[in-house]
Structure 1
Amino acid sequence: MTSTAQGRAKLLLWVSPAFISSNYILAKAASGEIAPHLMALIRWSVALCLMGAFSWRQLGQLMRLPAREYLHVLVLGGLGMWICGAFVYEAAFSTSSTNIALIYAVTPVAIAAVNSGASGGTVLPRHWVGMLLALFGVLFVISKGHLGNLSATRLVVGDVWVVVAATAWVAYTLLTQRWPSALDTSTRLCAVTCAGVLILLPCTVIEALHAGQVLLTRRGLLLAAVAGVIPGFVAYKSYAFLIQKLGPAQAGLVMYLSPVYAAAIAWVLLGEAPSWFHFAGAAMILPSIYLVTSQNTRSTEAGR
């Protein structure tokens, strides 16, 4: 990877969490305005249209893929767009955005651990220090500066939905890199999103039949469209680029910054000013990004 591409990827590592964290706020705002699977379907349909506008010239490659890659695309679509999409919106009915952020904050550690074990690689001590420091910073923010508050958190049905979604996010991140593809990054993401939409279609119908109605308001439709543009198209395009350029362990770090960014977004949109613990948590989280993304000089040279 060229130094320019690496620099662009590391810069994007700081920006992507803003796109991803917006989904937590949208999920909570859309609760009661639109059915979870319907929101996910609209979100990814909008994102698919945007992706297709950039990748339609390369879509002919899909006709020449081996059968195994079609299965890979389908699995990734189920993990990334169905489970990571609809399940989070389902969770928002009974849990808080804080709980969602807390559970998702564990995913970078899981990604790094699984990736290291599966590849037989070595995670350097400074990488572990960085990940633990970042996790501690996230917990500090979520507990409002009092870590003892975390013990009072009760597991509700919504938290279970988020645990499943977070597990799917780990799998999606690792498999995206581990499964080789004949497609370029943009075209592959477009194909995966299309698979996700196809999976969401029957799920949305079943959801409506089970509820006996289609839950959808104008506000819900608007929120779903926004979700398609920002935490859908923009966030996943950025994340796919990060996985390709930095690897799954480093790309997964965007989940650490998401709670901090979510607080900033809430400040701008909802008028909720950050407190001292937000700044203290950020002071722990931000340096950790450098610790984990910094590479050993010798290993970097050897890889060129």
Structure 2
Amino acid sequence: MHQRLTPATAGLLVLPPLLWAGNAVVGRMMVGLVPPITLNFLRWALAFVLLLPVTASLLRRGGPLWPQWRRFAVLGLLGVGAYNALQYLALKTSTPLNVTLVAASTPAFMLGIGAVWFGQRITRRQLLGATMSITGVLVVLGRGDWELLAQVRLVPGDFFILLATAAWAVYSWLLVRPGDPPEIRSDWAALLMAQMVFGLGWSGLFAAGEWAAEPQRIAWGWPVVAALGYVALGPAILAYRSWGLGVQRVGPTIAGFFSNLTPLFAGVLSAALLGEMPHLYHAAAFVLIVGGIVVSSRR
């Protein structure tokens, strides 16, 4: 039974979008200091170490994780190995505001993927909402200029964040399908660790490929150490826990609206920390994307 939205629960649901927006800004700040795919690997390696003391029993031989290793290997590939690696790659050539706006259209991607792969029926209202959200994404990709969009002058970051959003949509569908052992499903730390165990392998493999493709370097110093501490503890663990508690209290429908705060926080943080000011087309895109999600989710 879901509770009504209280200030405490609202605080729980506001914190993750703020941390996710900070993740995008930090990813942009680390361009030139840490290779993007390596940043993703280091982030999850540190999160693994931080979470290990409370989830060590999950990794024991004969534990509930190993019979489901194929499922968690796929979830780890999409959620840990691919999503943030692609996001950090996108931030090399795109802004945090652009990246978070496109990522905010995930519900529209989920509708399409659900219809094609999972037999989900799409209503007219959902189709209208998805069209509005996708139009908002096109406004971002075209930088508010339809002629520019027609010429398809996309920076690599636009492609990477679209790919990341599609990967997250597939991950979300797989995550809600039944099959997890109760001792993992009911424990947020165990569920996250089950994905991290395999996701670390994927992200390590991708990082090795990044270094093999061309010489890389990490400019070690306090900025890099602080950034790693933030992305591992904040967006990876604290946001995950806060979001889970908030969703448990008020349900995913109400909680979903709070995720749309991420582009707003990203715009404010980008302006304050990076000097990247938002434009009018960002506001138009935000209205279209959020409006589309509202239309889709109404009964």
For the 8 Å contact 2:18–2:262, the answer to whether it is kept is yes
Contact 1:108 1:255 in 2 (8 A): no
Task: Give the Cα separation in 1 of the matches to 2:12 and 2:136.
Answer: 21
| Paired residue type of 1:72 | R
Deviates more, 1:271-280 or 1:100-109: 271-280
1:263 is aligned to 2:262: no
Aligned to 1:77: 76
1:1-304 map, 5 Å: 2-4=1-3, 16-52=16-52, 55-56=54-55, 59=58, 63-65=62-64, 67-97=66-96, 99-101=98-100, 103-116=102-115, 118-137=117-136, 140=139, 149-151=148-150, 154-182=153-181, 183=184, 184-186=186-188, 187-218=190-221, 219-237=223-241, 257-270=261-274, 281-286=285-290, 288-294=292-298, 296=299
- CA drift at 1:276: 5.3
* Separation of aligned partners in 2, 1:139 and 1:16: 26
In percent, how many aligned pairs have the same letter? 23
Q: Which amino acid aligns with 1:30?
A: M
Code of the residue aligned with 2:126 in structure 1: it is H
8 Å CA contact 2:102, 2:137 repeated in 1: no
Q: CA deviation at 1:84?
A: 1.1
Deviates more, 1:79-88 or 1:234-243: 234-243
Deviations 1:63-109 (A, max 9, x none): 33375511111221121111112232233334444553454344321
Mapped to 2, the partners of 1:242 and 1:138 lie a distance apart of: 27
CA contact (8 A) 1:141 1:277 kept: yes
1:32 to partner: Cα distance = 0.4
- Superposition deviation, residue 16 in structure 1: 3.6
RMSD: 3.9
1:302 corresponds to: none
CA separation of 1:134 and 1:199: change in aligned 2, threshold 3 A: closer
Helix, strand or coil for the counterpart of 2:55? helix
Instruction: For residue 206 of structure 1, report the CA deviation from its aligned partner.
Output: 4.4
Instruction: Tell me, in whole angstroms, the C-alpha distance in 1 between the residues paired with 2:178 and 2:219.
Output: 37
Q: Secondary structure at the match of 1:263?
A: helix
CA distance, structure 2, for counterparts of residue 71 and residue 6 of structure 1: 37
Q: Which sits farther off after the overlay, 227-236 or 279-288?
A: 279-288
SS at match of 1:64: coil
Q: Structure 1 residues 50, 145: CA separation in 2 closer, same or farther (over 3 Å shift)?
A: same
Q: Secondary structure at the match of 1:22?
A: helix
Q: TM-score, normalised by structure 1?
A: 0.74
Once structures 1 and 2 are overlaid, which stretch shifts more, 97-106 or 162-171?
A: 97-106
* Cα deviation, residue 181, structure 1: 0.3
Residue type at the aligned position of 1:109:
A
- Cα distance 1:284–1:212, how it changes in 2: closer, same or farther (>3 A)? closer
Q: Report SS of the residue matched to 2:39.
A: helix
The residue identity in structure 1 corresponding to 2:199 is: G
Tell me if the contact between 1:27 and 1:89 (Cα under 8 Å) persists in the aligned partners.
Answer: yes
CA distances 1:47-77 after superposition (whole Å, capped 9, x unpaired): 2344445x43763688333755111112211
- Quick one: which amino acid aligns to residue 48 of structure 1? F
User: How many aligned residue pairs are there?
Assistant: 292
Q: Partner letter of residue 29 of structure 1?
A: M
- Give the aligned residue type for 2:227: L
**Code of the aligned partner of 2:172:** T
